[in-house]
Amino acid sequence: MEPFLPSALAFLGPRAAQALIGARGPLPGRPAALAPLASVYSPSIVSNLELLRRGMVGEGPRAGWRETIGAHVAEVEDGRVVIELEVHAGHRQEGGVVQGGIITQIADAAMGMSLLTRQPDDQANVTIELKINFLRPVVEGRLRAVGRVVEMRRALLFSEADVLDEEGRLVAKASSTCLAVPRPWR
């Protein structure tokens, strides 16, 4: 028999959902597959902070999206991550300015990664809501998305990002809500 899952969590699959609602006790029916994460978590796995730092030098799990647009992780510290992007023609829309989705992408990544620095090493997060204001058009130069933690709750994580141009002017301002999930990589 399928264990009951709140509908909002069903898309995550039973294991991820259990990690979120674990305090309510184990789900019935699948004791082996649904062992609490603490028991399958091995402290020898790479920490989230270390993983992000490896990402800065092109190591660790592959992040294809970064290769696609040419973004890189520039700074990682507790509660704060900076993503940089050297703007080129491939980022521009028909009007000659950087397409908003590109800016959103680096803001989202900076926010999610800033949250990751504060999460336990067996957790990661997924964005469930994001809002952005585009304040200035960008044509060229290096963009910096500075993501930082606003507040961490048990399952819901709140963050903000400023996207700055090469002169340090505020280009976009974003905020997001993320959901804590079991870490999908080792």
Partner 1 sequence: MRGQPSPAQRWVGIEVRSVGEGEAVLELCTRPEMRNSAEMVHGGFIALLADSAMGTAMGSRLPDGVRHPSFDLKVSFIAPGRIGERLRAVAKVIHSGRRTGVAECRLTGEDGRLVATATATFAILSSTSDQSEA
Sign, Cα dihedral of 167, 137, 147, 107: negative
Residue 10 or 135: the one with the smaller Cβ distance to partner 1 is: 135
Work out the end-to-end distance of the chain between its first and last CA atoms, rounded to an integer number of angstroms: 30
Binding residues for partner 1 (CB under 8 A): 131, 133, 135, 150-151, 153, 158, 160, 170, 173, 175, 177
Give the nearest distance from C-beta 97 to partner 1 in angstroms.
Answer: 15
Give the nearest distance from C-beta 163 to partner 1 in angstroms.
Answer: 12
Residue 88 φ/ψ, nearest 5 degrees: -140, 180
Give the nearest distance from C-beta 66 to partner 1 in angstroms.
Answer: 27
Give the nearest distance from C-beta 105 to partner 1 in angstroms.
Answer: 19
Q: Compute the distance between CA of residue 67 and CA of residue 62 in angstroms, rounded to an integer.
A: 9
Structural contact between residues 145 and 182, judged by C-beta atoms closer than 8 angstroms: no
Q: In this structure, how many other beta carbons lie within 10 angstroms of the beta carbon of residue 128?
A: 12
Residue 63 or 130: the one with the smaller Cβ distance to partner 1 is: 130
Residue 18 or 114: the one with the smaller Cβ distance to partner 1 is: 114
Residue 41 or 158: the one with the smaller Cβ distance to partner 1 is: 158
Q: In what order do the strands lie in the sheet with 71-77?
A: 71-77, 80-86, 142-152, 156-164, 170-182, 123-134
Give the nearest distance from C-beta 88 to partner 1 in angstroms.
Answer: 26
Residue 148 or 183: the one with the smaller Cβ distance to partner 1 is: 148
